[in-house]
Amino acid sequence: MKQKKQQQVAVAVALAVVVYAMALGGSEAGKDQLLSLLELDEAAVSVSISGSQQQQQPPLVVGLSLIQSAASTGAVCLDGTLPGYHLHRGYGSGANSWLIQLEGGGWCNTIASCVYRKTTRRGSSNYMEKQLPFTGILSNKAEENPDFFNWNRVKLRYCDGASFIGDSQNEAAKLKFRGQRIWLAAMKEFLSKGMQNADQALLSGCSAGGLASILHCDEFRDLFPKTTKVKCLSDAGFFLDANDVSGGRTLRNIFGGVVSLQEVGKDLPETCTSHLDPTSCFFPQNLVANIKTPLFLLNAAYDAWQLQASLAPPSADPHGSWNECKSNHAHCNTSQIQFLQDFRNQMVNAVRDFSMSSQNGLFINSCFAHCQSERQDTWFANDSPRLGNKAIATSIGDWYFDRVPVKAIDCAYPCDNTCHNLVFK
């Protein structure tokens, strides 16, 4: 009961943020801010719900460290401040194992939206929380995180606005677009902190960070000797190049702005850019089949963020006919459910070639959720989501350690009664 109340409070706060963002929607800057604020919504929900009923004690809290060496290479946040991370050391059997979690938080696709981000934790380390709770895949408790609890676990903060890629600047607006440099500076920092001795490593990330873990997966592999076991996990990072409810391409337009503004094209994989335009190569569906390193895709088939921000945003639904459905999937009418089933079908089709490889893994559940590895209630708890009677944490552990192959794709909504759906009250 207590958890449900927490959920409702968190979502009420989140929805207030979304409503405020929608009120800004009349201007271009307002539309861009909607995207940033929707990510704040996701963060508010995930932090407030993360204490599941089986969690007896408060989560581990880990302090922020800044990468002091980053200044010399210009590897700085949008506002020129140093990038940061939170590291909790491993021990025992996990002392030489490293998990890097790339933080999410939307993107900025115009000068106005990037200038706005400079005043938030998504664009400046001046505004980053000095301490963060480590829950889910970052937890230090075996009963909450059975396979990775004693690894060296790092959360790399996100302050470039382009999924840790791109290299440009705008002097007039005093903006630094240094995603690729931040990635390189961070990896150099972690190698110096002991990651160079890793016998196993996992690059992970959620949302925009989940996209980043796909973009950087093979680069991450190349940091280590061949003898090191290296894999990648993308949680809620499989953003589809799909039509919105008006027939437009909201997310393609956003990604196009990010790619051109931050000069992302030069850092995208040549296996894609050799035959597709750079914006298409920012979409995971055009990347995953060519990634050489073992990769696991964890995604909700009815991704809550994509429904809110790219499928039915106010710009595509000016009369608000999708508002009820977006707030609670139980309020979707028959045609709206059909639209969402078509979206799920696109996602399943987009991973078909990827899933043919024996080294890759999949967990696509038919839930209205987003970022399921960072929240304790969805990662590993008594009532967490399951496919084939296996929790997400168990499935990813089985895949990482080669215990059994994991290629789990759920039946279509409403067949799954283990979902932790996001409902906006």
d(CA 299, CA 367): 9
The residue annotated as part of the active site, out of 86, 88, 216, 370, is: 370
d(CA 302, CA 329): 10
Catalytic-residue membership of 207:
yes
The residue annotated as part of the active site, out of 207, 234, 327, 384, is: 207
d(CA 306, CA 241): 10
Three-state DSSP string of 409-421: ECCCCCCCCCCCC
Integer angstrom CA distances of residue 74 from 57, 100, 162, 170: 41, 22, 16, 14
The residues, ordered by sequence, that sit 6+ positions from 348 with a Cβ below 8 Å of its Cβ are: 301, 364, 409
> Which residues make beta-bridge pairs with 204?
101
Catalytic-residue membership of 303:
yes
Dihedral sign computed on CA atoms, order 130, 135, 137, 142: positive
Place of tokens 């664009």: 123
Computed on alpha carbons and rounded to an integer, the radius of gyration of the chain in Å comes to 20
Catalytic-residue membership of 370:
yes
Contact assessment for residue 381 and residue 370, using Cβ atoms and an 8 Å cutoff: no
> Which residues make beta-bridge pairs with 297?
234, 362
d(CA 48, CA 50): 6
Q: Is 310 helix (H, G, I), strand (E, B) or coil?
A: helix
The distance of Cα 73 from the centroid of its chain, to the nearest Å, equals 26
The residue annotated as part of the active site, out of 167, 267, 303, 410, is: 303
| Size of the chain in residues | 425
Asked whether the bond before 58 is cis by omega within 30 degrees of 0, the reply is no
Active site residues: 207, 303, 370
